Amino acid sequence: DGGITQSPKYLFRKEGQNVTLSCEQNLNHDAMYWYRQDPGQGLRLIYYSQIVNDFQKGDIAEGYSVSREKKESFPLTVTSAQKNPTAFYLCASSPSQGARDTEAFFGQGTRLTVV
Amino acid sequence: GIQVEQSPPDLILQEGANSTLRCNFSDSVNNLQWFHQNPWGQLINLFYIPSGTKQNGRLSATTVATERYSLLYISSSQTTDSGVYFCAVGGSGTYKYIFGTGTRLKVLA
């Protein structure tokens, strides 16, 4: 089945630790995205990548880092510099802007809790 | 950047009722999607509709790009329609999808 897989589903982190959230897609999409959702709120863009080895900061990139070494994979690292990392993290992918249809699809999300 | 406003913020319906959700955006867009977020947080794609009208069962959507708004219609609502409905837009020359704050729908049996 084609889709986007995020892991783990739940993640607990101690203060001061870095953690990495995984996102893999087999839709052959060029673009991938990371969003953060706080309780009762909408989604805010952290980072996005249009192509392998290239990525841009979104609206709330501070305290996060990403890499895009493979088309299928776009891992997100939540660093100790992120002051309030407890949130729901969603990964998405879409075809390139040059495609006729650039519909985005989302993974099932990772709930990160700082303990 | 583009601003996205959704209305109403909250909506409570009796099962079987119809409803209209609205999404206004502040600039021209190349992409527009409607999503339903279920109680487990999963975002379900409803429509990819940068312009025109589409229908899928009890749901339909219309985007009037020149007037910068989109509408999502839910007919004969069911309790399983409960959740949060998001509108997301992407502007010209950008990959960034901007989300509205959502409409929280509760359908009562």
Residues B86-101: pLDDT tens digits? 999 987 667 788 999 9
Nearest CA of chain A to the CA of B95: how many Å?
7
Candidate from A83-87, B57-61, B81-85 with smallest mean pLDDT: A83-87
Is 90 exceeded by the pLDDT of residue A115? no
Query: For residue B14, what pLDDT band results from cuts at 50, 70 and 90?
Result: very high
Phi, psi at B32, each rounded to 5°:
-150, 130
Both tokens of B74, joined, read 């839910």
A97 CB within 8 Å of a chain B CB: yes
Q: How many CB pairs under 8 A join A and B?
A: 55
Across the interface, whether the CB atoms of B43 and A41 are under 8 A apart is answered no
Residues in Cβ contact with B67 at an 8 Å cutoff, skipping those fewer than 6 apart: none
Contact B72, B23 (CB under 8 A): yes
Nearest CA of chain B to the CA of A95: how many Å?
10
Is 80 exceeded by the pLDDT of residue A2? no
